[in-house]
Structure 1
């Protein structure tokens, strides 16, 4: 499936999710029992956060085998995530990668706290996540061009998504070449836990 078709399918699926939640309807992932054991054919990769409130298959109204989902706190880019995406593009000819951030992200909150309050209470393992998010957030904190903490968190979340989008190309020659050849699109997006809506960046 081409990138633009895959993107539209995600947009349509998210609209279905929003409508279902607004109507307080039952939300389920549709199952496809045929041939799932033989080969997977996902149409998009989602690099999302581990947050339990952001299950990609439900948010995009997708079923088994539709999405290649990588979840890590803060939707950060590290070698294992890059390798997983390269694998999906190589093995399944996936042409769309979505980096999905979200509101009320714990990793973003932890990074903002580390930069503005105190980081002594952060464990070394959590610090490794914060360290990857910090380059996106530090310029915002230093510039001071934000209203309240809510605005700071939102700007930081968006900057972190954009950092991950850029990082996937900068740190992967394979992904970079696919983008240049027009065989892959990498886009950022943000999910609102309050509304259920996913807003995509850079759709042009």
Structure 2
């Protein structure tokens, strides 16, 4: 137990990387950050990216700074090579705290990383970003429809968080074909990740409830480069439902 605590302390200390010469900066409001993300994405769509904060001086600053004084958004997105978060939002070094995983799912590893991004890197915004043609969602959709896929042993438990999203849209849109359901499943999977986060992370719920963090969902269109932003009220609706669920996690801190 003592060894575990010591390793945890070392890990957290190395993550913080606090420099005595690094001054704490005031970050923009959540609404302003969302505006910045939208403007950055529009520049990317228009082919007018500015590629900010990638200069040698920025790298040197990063080497001697606490990222928590600079990063303004945590982004949970897919590991798909067609979905490069910093490019999509025309951002640079120390701008975004990014978690990439197949299907942008929120399970233990991802949720722990999100908690770090919100609670220690102090980002006022969390973006859960799905994307068009998501292979993970397509695969789960196929399985839910009865197809037998030959998958490596660790893939099914990786993407099983997507099953509730696909099952929900299959039931809601029973008149649609398997392929027609995919866009609906991709959107529902964004909300599934938000739900899974709130169910398992009392710390994230509190930050949102206290007005310190705003959660927003989006779908990135691979062809156009545009992020189609989803209903901004939906995360709070999900939070309200989770708060009524007795199975939600109640522990903010590790025991």
Same fold (TM over 0.5): yes
Work out the CA distance in 2 between the residues paired with 1:182 and 1:65: 23
In structure 1, runs of 5+ residues without a counterpart are: none
**Higher Cα radius of gyration:** 2
Query: Which residue is equivalent to 1:3?
Result: 30
Kindly provide the CA deviation profile for residues 2-27 of structure 1, in whole angstroms up to 9, marking residues without a partner as x: 2111111100000000000xxxx787
Q: Cα deviations across residues 38-97 of structure 1 (Å, max 9, x unaligned)?
A: 221210000000000000000000011100000000000111111111112222221100
**C-alpha contact (below 8 Å) 2:217/2:232 kept by paired residues:** no
Cα deviation per residue 1:105-154 (whole Å; 9 max; x = unaligned)? 01011001111142352233111133110011112223444544443100
Is 1:179 matched up with 2:205? no
Higher relative contact order (CA 8 A, sep 6+): 1
- Quote the residue 1:123 is aligned against: 152
Structure 1 residues 46-85: aligned runs within 5 Å: 46-85=75-114
More displaced, 164-173 or 74-83?
164-173
Structure 1 runs, 4 residues or longer, greater than 6 Å off: none
Q: CA RMSD in A?
A: 1.8
Quick check: 34-43 or 176-185, which moved more? 34-43
Determine helix, strand or coil for the equivalent of 2:128.
Answer: strand
Q: Secondary structure at the match of 1:77?
A: coil
Cα pair 1:101 1:157 within 8 Å, conserved: yes
- Give me the TM-score of the superposition, normalised by structure 1: 0.91
Aligned to 2:61, the other structure's residue is in SS state coil
Match of 1:16 in 2: 43
Scaled by the length of structure 2, what TM-score is found? 0.73
